[in-house]
Structure 1
């Protein structure tokens, strides 16, 4: 899994580049444009939730069929997945176009910021077919063990986006200045480029439609947990944006910048999570409890190192980071305070990030989901709202507070599990495998 993690981490890094590059160039172009991008960010998360969640269902189902040597049925499932991607895009594009302006008004107050959000959002959402297809094509390739092509395609797509961004935003030669619309077009162009590359060898016929329904049911049974968790994550960001909009659009901008930067700083943690799941699962099945403890010990140590580096950037260098995206004095004033406070919770976040994965790996889904919900749904939005009643600067305390509560709860559940293992080892006379 250590060999598989780097490609996955690289893919996640490249996916984050779309939003990061847009934010950097749009921030230089106009401050209200950066606010618009922050408002639309949750909609982009919904796109990812629908596209990746459906893709995960198809990927898992196809991998299972390939393991059973049922290649023909696996190819049909891939074809059905492509139809689902197109159908889901059509519904999402229609709904988003109808609600775009009312939605933008929940996260921004300035007319310029609302207009920027509507322009960017309409182009990105209606043009999201590339994302839906690329995600499906990539998952089809991955079900066959092909990790290389999706990563190469995502890199090429990111390069296209990076090249087009300044050209379309600021104009070049005969190409007119497009501003926020240019950033959106560059993003869509990059996504369609990725989709075109991954389409090679991924397209297959869906088979008779009368047989498709049972396959669709299986696909979403396998993919709905991923869709649900990402959707809940999106809902709480919309909730936070609505609260921050009551203070200023600059506050919404700061939150959007944080989540986009978080993508980069947390990528090593995501790779670590991917690595330890199969290793923990294998050793747990072998009742090698001591080895499981060592895996968690080293994983938490690595996580603490990574998060300590992230803490240094956010706590001691917030002004430098924000300067990459905005020169607005109010954004810097709010962002400097926000990043320092949020960064203080990074060390306790090690436990709230790694322990749900531990419980998932040993087959205990309830504690895993409980910790994730505690961190993202119950604690953070509630504390954020309560602290907002005191003042804007206090709202950011909700982040380290939520990480500490979820991390503390996770640590208690982990220690309880370890004690059970120790008791089981003694009662059954099991060797304490290393």
Structure 2
């Protein structure tokens, strides 16, 4: 419990800083008094979530393989794979960024964006997407730092990135001190500045831990395939959420800009309210992978149980806070009419459904890092399709509120099933056996040494 709390808590501070800045973007845009711009944030978010899902999946593959090798004591091999993977990840995301710009018109049209709202969203995406190759570096360096237990440094570099955005956002979006506001263009410039800052500081931190080794050309394909074995199912898994979210955005667009603006506000509040859960799911994976590599299977199961208890605590606290602040939130984000109705519904009732969503996230982290990534893919896509489309279609008969409730109902069903499966999987684990890569046979001495390393957790020691 202490280990997961330390790793997730420090990670949550960094994530919270980034999510708060994202929320401030919405706040600053809402101050301009243009509902079209507020709705445009919803459309850019739908596109950005797809891009981010690929990057997250790649970093999951990197973190899982490297953590497991470090847990088994194969440091040099882990460093070589890390370097090769970071290069490959950046190349993949660069191509995705260019492809996004090339097909931007059909993408926005498919989401339901049109007129000035589509133009504003396109301006943001055309600036951010060509530099998408930086995103996997920020996530990859952070994953490597967590893999060696340096949660404090991982948090610090994220805070610096958030600080850059916090300073630039009001200047570029609202034109404070300049008299010239750039709107979403300013938000895009601020986003890039933040990502480049995190990437640079992350590189410095990883070098200090000597985690990067010179790649070997002859082994590059094998190294990339090894990470890809985990990353590809993880990408498919993570794509499910934004694809389901895009369907919800499309459904909301049928009810007008206010409905889309309300959904955009909820989408920005959610990660702030549940930053701890997002950080938890990113932190427990390496913990499970290292203990699997060291043959300490009881700790794998205990990590799963501790994580679920922490999800419950986080949801209860967030529910209470949002319920108390719902009226003030509507004022802060200039939410009126349908947008305000959706915000009140979320803060009063729908927020409770994140208990099952968080449980699904934890289960997916277990599947991805213990060698069963296809299970993660199946549950996430099940939630995004069978757990979203029919529920939302039924809910649409009752307006935007029905769409929101339908999306929540599907999460409850698949979150429950995923947790049950996760306990079955962890109960059947055996030392030296997993679903990906070459699992090293665990010797008694290795397990004993690993147990010593894992005994004390202060946020800087490995594991």
TM-score by length of 1: 0.80
User: Is the contact made by 1:250 and 1:334 (CA closer than 8 Å) also made in structure 2?
Assistant: no
Structure 2 unaligned regions, length at least 5: 429-463
Deviation at 1:192, TM superposition (A): 0.8
Task: Give the secondary structure class of the aligned counterpart of 1:95.
Answer: helix
Note closer, same or farther for the CA distance 1:122–1:288 as it changes in structure 2 (3 Å cut): closer
Give 2:247's aligned residue.
Answer: 239
Q: Could you report, residue by residue, the CA deviation over 1:294-343 in whole angstroms, capped at 9, with x for unpaired residues?
A: 984x7656544432333334455433223332344442244334544523
Give 1:389's aligned residue.
Answer: 397
Note closer, same or farther for the CA distance 1:84–1:311 as it changes in structure 2 (3 Å cut): same
Deviation at 1:236, TM superposition (A): 0.8
Give 2:204's aligned residue.
Answer: 200
1:128 to 125, 132, 140: 132
Q: How does 1:153-172 map to 2 (within 5 A)?
A: 153-172=157-176
2:193 to 189, 194, 207: 189
Note closer, same or farther for the CA distance 1:417–1:64 as it changes in structure 2 (3 Å cut): closer
Note closer, same or farther for the CA distance 1:59–1:35 as it changes in structure 2 (3 Å cut): same
Instruction: Name which of structure 1's ranges 37-46 and 126-135 shifts more when overlaid on structure 2.
Output: 126-135
User: Is the contact made by 2:83 and 2:213 (CA closer than 8 Å) also made in structure 1?
Assistant: yes
Note closer, same or farther for the CA distance 1:240–1:226 as it changes in structure 2 (3 Å cut): same
Q: Could you report, residue by residue, the CA deviation over 1:250-290 in whole angstroms, capped at 9, with x for unpaired residues?
A: 2122222222211122233345557777589979x88979x
Give 1:212's aligned residue.
Answer: 220
Note closer, same or farther for the CA distance 1:59–1:279 as it changes in structure 2 (3 Å cut): closer
Note closer, same or farther for the CA distance 1:367–1:120 as it changes in structure 2 (3 Å cut): closer
- How many angstroms apart in 2 are the aligned matches of 1:7 and 1:144? 14
User: Is the contact made by 2:142 and 2:202 (CA closer than 8 Å) also made in structure 1?
Assistant: yes
Task: Give the secondary structure class of the aligned counterpart of 2:38.
Answer: helix
- How many angstroms apart in 1 are the aligned matches of 2:366 and 2:94? 38
Give 1:4's aligned residue.
Answer: 7
Deviation at 1:293, TM superposition (A): 9.2
- How many angstroms apart in 2 are the aligned matches of 1:361 and 1:129? 24
Instruction: Name which of structure 1's ranges 75-84 and 29-38 shifts more when overlaid on structure 2.
Output: 75-84
TM-score by length of 2: 0.76
Determine whether 1:380 maps to 2:395: no
Give 2:103's aligned residue.
Answer: 99
Structure 1 unaligned regions, length at least 5: 421-434
Task: Give the secondary structure class of the aligned counterpart of 1:3.
Answer: helix
**Bigger radius of gyration:** 1
Determine whether 1:149 maps to 2:149: no
Note closer, same or farther for the CA distance 1:99–1:355 as it changes in structure 2 (3 Å cut): closer
User: Is the contact made by 1:110 and 1:249 (CA closer than 8 Å) also made in structure 2?
Assistant: no
Deviation at 1:377, TM superposition (A): 3.2
Deviation at 1:82, TM superposition (A): 2.9
- How many angstroms apart in 2 are the aligned matches of 1:108 and 1:294? 42
Task: Give the secondary structure class of the aligned counterpart of 2:318.
Answer: helix
1:58 to 56, 62, 82: 62
Q: How does 1:382-421 map to 2 (within 5 A)?
A: 382-406=390-414, 409=417
- How many angstroms apart in 2 are the aligned matches of 1:124 and 1:178? 15
- How many angstroms apart in 1 are the aligned matches of 2:290 and 2:76? 31
- How many angstroms apart in 1 are the aligned matches of 2:175 and 2:326? 31
Q: How does 1:235-384 map to 2 (within 5 A)?
A: 235-270=243-278, 296=305, 302-315=310-323, 317-343=325-351, 345-346=353-354, 371-384=379-392
Note closer, same or farther for the CA distance 1:187–1:313 as it changes in structure 2 (3 Å cut): same
User: Is the contact made by 1:37 and 1:120 (CA closer than 8 Å) also made in structure 2?
Assistant: no
Note closer, same or farther for the CA distance 1:84–1:114 as it changes in structure 2 (3 Å cut): same
Instruction: Name which of structure 1's ranges 12-21 and 177-186 shifts more when overlaid on structure 2.
Output: 12-21
Give 1:19's aligned residue.
Answer: 22
Give 2:90's aligned residue.
Answer: 86
- How many angstroms apart in 2 are the aligned matches of 1:347 and 1:275? 18
Give 1:138's aligned residue.
Answer: 142
Task: Give the secondary structure class of the aligned counterpart of 1:200.
Answer: helix
Deviation at 1:170, TM superposition (A): 1.8
Deviation at 1:143, TM superposition (A): 3.9
- How many angstroms apart in 2 are the aligned matches of 1:217 and 1:414? 26
Task: Give the secondary structure class of the aligned counterpart of 1:62.
Answer: helix
Deviation at 1:97, TM superposition (A): 0.6
Structure with bigger RCO (C-alpha 8 Å, 6+ apart) = 2
Deviation at 1:65, TM superposition (A): 4.4
1:46 to 46, 50, 75: 50
Determine whether 1:225 maps to 2:228: no
